[in-house]
Every structure is written in C-alpha cells, then in structure tokens.
Amino acid sequence: MKKVAIIMGSDSDFPIVSKAIKQLKDYEVPFEVHVMSAHRTPDEASEFAKNAIKNGFGVIIAAAGMAAHLGGVLAANTTLPVIGIPCKGPCFDGMDALLATVMMPTGIPVATVAVNGAANAAILAIQMLALSDETLAQKLVDNRKKMAETVVSKDKDIQSKVDEI
C-alpha cells in the first residue's frame, strides 16, 4: 500500500494534524509526518515532493496557516494528489489560509478541505488510495455503515425524548 505524507508548515499545526494521524491509524494506512515550510525551507519541501513517488507515497496532505503556500509548493513539484488543510491562524479566522490554498493556477490543483479539516483530509487521502485497494475500500464502506447506524440510533433516542415531553 502506498503511504500518505503529512507535511505541516509549522509544528504549531500538530494539534490540527493529529486528527488526520488518528484517521490514518484507524484505517491502518502507512504514513509519515514532517515539518517543512514553503517559505523557510522551500528547497526541502520541493525536494520531498519531487521524490515522493519513488519514496512510496500515493497522496500528500499539506497543512499550513496564514500564507498557506505549502500545498501549492508541494503540488508544483509532484503529480501526486495534494490535499490542503488550511489552518486557522492568529488572524482572519483561517480565511487567509483557505484562500491561499484553494486559489491555485490551472494545472496545479490542490484539493482543499475545511479550515482545520484534518480528519476529512485523511479520509479523502484514504479514498484516493482505496481506488486501487479493495481492502481499504471495504473499510470505508464499513465505516459509512457504522456512521449511518449511529445516526439512526440517535434519532431513536431523540424520538423517545420527544415522546416524554
């Protein structure tokens, strides 16, 4: 199975990224986590992306706040899918990171999840890998079924509370 790379622009993004790590562990998907900056270590970030395919990666997740150019820098240097997680920073409620992540030029896409949406970034990466992995695809189906069962159960609980009023 291909690995997922999680690259954060700063170690301050780790509390957000930890939700992606949990999802990947739950699905037993191999991954690596690194800190690389689009601005402070651009050569290292570019080199990582250029070598990602030969190093066994299938998807790259890029988490960054503020200027949030990390996803774009990585995407510019690989043909692997890159998923951006715009991280809420000290100002603008993460809108700056969101806009910097989604506004990519034609030909260099970065799929983007919600601000701080690390869990969904991991699930999207898992869905991409599941295109060529039937076991992983079945885990996704099973998890969707479990989520639906949880909602049905909660609905029944609410109905009984409504009846008691």
The Cα 156–Cα 35 span in angstroms is: 45
Instruction: Indicate the DSSP class of residue 41.
Output: S
* pLDDT for 68: 83
Distances (CA, A) of 1 to 30, 58, 105, 165: 8, 9, 30, 53
Exposed e or buried b for every residue in 51-73, given b needs 16+ CB within 10 A?
ebeeeebbbbbbbbbbebbbbbb
What sections of the chain are H helices per DSSP?
A: 14-26, 42-51, 70-75, 95-102, 118-130, 134-164
The Cα 159–Cα 66 span in angstroms is: 44
Q: Which tokens go with 76?
A: 């510019």
pLDDT per position as a tens digit, 55-89: 999 999 999 998 789 999 999 999 999 999 999 98
Binding residues for substrate: 10, 13, 40
Is 13:121 a contact under the CB 8 Å cutoff? no
Question: Please, what is the Cα angle at 33 between 141 and 4, to 5 degrees?
Answer: 35
Tokens 């030029």 — which residue?
105
pLDDT average per 10 residues of sequence, the chain (165 residues):
97 97 98 97 98 98 92 98 95 92 96 98 98 98 97 93 86
Exposed e or buried b for every residue in 120-136, given b needs 16+ CB within 10 A?
bbbbbbbebbbeebeeb
Binding residues: 10, 13, 40
